Amino acid sequence: MIRLLTTTIFTLGFVLNGVSQDAEEMKGHILIEDSKFKLDLGDFLIISNGVSVWTYEKETNDCYLDDADVLIDEGMDPSKIFTIWEDDFKSEWMGQESVSGKDCVHINLYPHAADDKPYHTMQLFVDEVGLEVVKIVVKGREGMDTEYLIERFDVGGDIPSSNFSFDTNDYPGASIIDNRI
């Protein structure tokens, strides 16, 4: 059982011919326990109980409900962000690099079923001293790279199960758009 709270900066951007285009930075917190997660990005809240995923958009007060399996097949599963490399990847040692002032090991991961994934490479940067992931870069097939900078790990502690479901009472008037099959 993983009980994890992290503060993460998400940088989303397009790279075209080596030139960064339209970079957007979001800051958020994520709670993870087994296959469940709660990702709070301020304007967006994504919650999964491992079966369903609720994506709440604050500006529109809309909540999209999807099957977790469908989103996982599309490559979106934050509950695996810190363990994804354990299965189904070839790895390549790329050397050492400094990230946020920490000496890190740089490892590239290449998925075995690469044609079925929306990305071709994941770059991991692991703090040599704390043995914690400091940065993850997901290299997308369509030229969009996503970078995750991990500011803080807190492992352990109790996370109430209510964190892993969307309670409409907490979001008065929210429209629920059910996309489940």
Tally of residues, the chain: 181
pLDDT of residue 60: 96
Residue 151 has pLDDT above 60, yes or no: yes
Task: Give the model confidence (pLDDT) of 88-120 as tens digits.
Answer: 788 899 999 999 899 999 999 998 877 877 788
Give the dihedral sign, CA 144/26/31/174.
negative
User: How many CA atoms are closer than 13 Å to the CA of 110, on its beta-carbon side?
Assistant: 6
pLDDT of residue 167: 92
Candidates 153, 94, 164; CA nearest to 125 is: 94
pLDDT of residue 13: 41
User: How many CA atoms are closer than 13 Å to the CA of 74, on its beta-carbon side?
Assistant: 7
Count the Cβ atoms, other than its own, within 10 Å of residue 104: 21
Q: Which two tokens stand for residue 121?
A: 């490479």
pLDDT of residue 117: 78
Count the Cβ atoms, other than its own, within 10 Å of residue 125: 24
Tell me the average pLDDT across 140-158.
75
Asked whether the beta carbons of 61 and 174 are under 8 A apart, the reply is yes
Which letter does DSSP use for residue 81 in this model?
A: T
Map out the domains of the chain with their CATH numbers: 4-178 (2.50.20.10)
Q: Which two tokens stand for residue 122?
A: 């994941």
Asked whether the beta carbons of 171 and 54 are under 8 A apart, the reply is no
SS3 percent helix, strand, coil of the chain, rounded to 5, is: 10, 55, 30
Asked whether the beta carbons of 36 and 160 are under 8 A apart, the reply is no
